Amino acid sequence: MTDVIAVKSTERHRKLHPAALRVMHWINAFAMIILIGSGWKIYNDEVLFGWLHFPEWMVIGVWAQHALQWHFFAMWILMINGLCYLGYGIFTGRFRRKFFPIWPSAIIADIRDALHFRLAHDDIRHYNAVQKLLYTGIIAVIIVQVISGWVLWKPIQLSELTDLFYGFQNARLVHFIGMAAIVGFLIVHVALALLVPKTIGAMLTGGPPESVDDPTSPHANPAR
């Protein structure tokens, strides 16, 4: 009985998405939309693929220089907010609790369940293996986007980084592929949110409470 009381005393209850996380999420979404729209306008000024042009109604910016100003504006927002998000996720242990471990066997099983329309969405407090992979993967993609963006901005001054991409044009290609990956992620992310509307509400209100073990307690469960 005393052990049960001790375990309960070490648990803290809080919202699924704390207020700080929700603010950073929507700031990131705002910055991403501006970066994508302005990036498409910049791309149209010097295309990588002759067959691909983005229609004017989809872009942000009247001309390329105008789009660059929007792009730099959103870039600084994303960088500052992204660093805050990474720091928050690492130092609070949220990344460890929510995103890890990621087992290949679990990913395959979840994909199989999704293809048979058996993937459960009842408890939004827990991410399945595919969600974990998508979220950690998109964080890595955004980091590469920031680095390749620096190369495109200052290829001479950051020549060491330029060499990592084997030249300016390769950095452009990587930046374009990263953009496509982010757009694909956003489409899937929004589609899943619409399929499970309570996830949208959770990102607005904080969602249901969840128990978080005190990491300093000897009874804490490191797997949570």
What pLDDT, on the 0 to 100 scale, is given for residue 110? 73
Q: Which of 26-35, 174-183, 190-199 has the lowest mean pLDDT?
A: 190-199
Q: What is the 3-state secondary structure (H, E, C) of 101-120?
A: CCCHHHHHHHHHHHHCCCCC
Band (pLDDT 50/70/90 cuts) for residue 117 is: low
Which pair of tokens denotes residue 120?
Answer: 């459960």
Domain layout of the chain by residue ranges: 13-208
Contact between 213 and 11 under an 8 Å Cβ cutoff? The reply is yes
The Cα angle at residue 182 between residues 181 and 188, in degrees rounded to 5? 90
> Tokens 């149209």 appear where?
44
Band (pLDDT 50/70/90 cuts) for residue 3 is: very low
The Cα angle at residue 108 between residues 198 and 185, in degrees rounded to 5? 50
Contact between 130 and 111 under an 8 Å Cβ cutoff? The reply is yes
Mean pLDDT of 89-95: 89
pLDDT of residue 20 exceeding 60: yes
Provide the whole-model pTM: 0.81
> Tokens 């452009």 appear where?
172
- Per CATH, the homologous superfamily of domain 13-208 is Transmembrane di-heme cytochromes, Chain C (1.20.950.20)
| Identity of the residue numbered 24 | M
